[in-house]
Amino acid sequence: MAATWVLAAAAALALWAAAAEGARSPAARVHRHLKRLNKPAVKSIESPDGDIIDCVHLSHQPAFDHPLLKNHTLQMRPAYHPEGLYDDDKRSVASDNAGEKPMLQLWHQKGRCPEGTVPIRRTKKDDLLRASSLRRYGRKRHTAVNPLSIDPNMLNEGGHQHAIAYVEGDKYYGAKATINVWEPKIQQPNEFSLSQLWILGGSFGEDLNSIEAGWQVSPDLYGDNNTRLFTYWTSDAYQATGCYNILCSGFIQINSEIAMGASIFPISNIAGSQYDISILIWKDPKEGNWWMQFGREYVLGYWPSFLFSYLADSASMVEWGGEVVNSEPDGTHTSTQMGSGRFPEEGFGKASYFKNIQVVDSSNQLKAPKGVGTYTEQSNCYDVQNGNNGDWGTYFYYGGPGKNSNCP
């Protein structure tokens, strides 16, 4: 009898050990991570590009996994919008001969999410397997560019290159831009191309705070070459905090119409129709949270102010423009495109642009930025040219093809 008990105990112990080992296996870790990211859906919509958009109840979104958000009272609208928000819209509607068309996301062709839910792009197993590690999935590997401390000996530091306009030297409480949308070609899967605005606070050391939003093409992150709406945030220079979209807790979405990370449709084409998106990020002067609006109609959600140190007060720099990863395949500059892949001097219909760029001042007013600077590491690869007129306000053209006869 004792021998039987010993054998049974040994068998049970072996089963427990096997189960424990299985729980530590890569497949089990991937499964657990998917369960954390993909919340129970009220409704699911299959997009024409293969994405699954899950309509998740507002209170079940990933933001509320954050320990400081467990008892957070959800804000369904900002207390204040910036003053002067629609002044430039009236001007551009009257004067823009391009016939700017309303933007949609591709999944809208197959349905919409009901009120009281938020649309979340479902993370798939292949998305996780493309990442360098589960811990780094959905996170950037670099810091924002500091145009004020240019070291000519480090033109391709970290493999990232930029063509940006920027302002600094004041306190900023938000920024806005209308961004021309393209689908740049990416040479290597581990490279990306994006166009965005950055709201920055702190130094460019380990304490950098950043809120970012725009469009990007990132085969590693999404598994395709589609142009997608994205956001990012960090409070420690991309080390341990923050992520793209809502792949971690932090950003709280309130809108049922627009999905972070979903494909933008349609896209501009050379000498053809031009399509833009408008993005506004501002600090609500009453509650102190940072809000994001997409277009005229869609207030998407907010980053609670307690996520940040410096941005809990204000930003010290705002940047707008493009960024690419240059992994120097075969020892030469990448041919990954920025913007449309054309240089700024080619102008409207060919080069990509930002127009009506503005900042929010301490009195919650949208203003044209003063003292706009420009920066690029290698203007023969990617360049930027800024200007100002009555139709577009403060604007710039930017981008380029990367590798060419003048960019070896």
Per the DSSP assignment, residues forming a β-bridge with 320 are 165, 197
Exposure b/e, 103-141, CB count within 10 A at least 16 = b: bebbbbeeeebeeebbbbbbbbeebbebeeeeeebbbbe
What's the CA gap between 171 and 372, in Å, rounded?
A: 15
Evaluate whether 363 touches 158 at the Cβ level (below 8 Å). no
Q: Phi/psi at 69 (nearest 5 deg)?
A: -105, 0
Per the DSSP assignment, residues forming a β-bridge with 199 are 211, 318
The H-or-E segment that residue 204 falls in is none
Active site residue 212: yes
Structure tokens at 193: 């191309």
Task: Supply the angle between the helices 26-37 and 2-24 in degrees, to the nearest 10.
Answer: 60
Q: Among the options 183, 191, 319, 323, which is catalytic?
A: 323
The H-or-E segment that residue 36 falls in is helix 26-37
Residues 233, 237, 240: CA angle, nearest 5 degrees? 75
Active site residue 115: no
Q: Among the options 183, 212, 319, 377, which is catalytic?
A: 212
CA distances from 146 to 115, 143, 381 (A): 41, 9, 19
Annotated catalytic sites, by residue? 212, 323
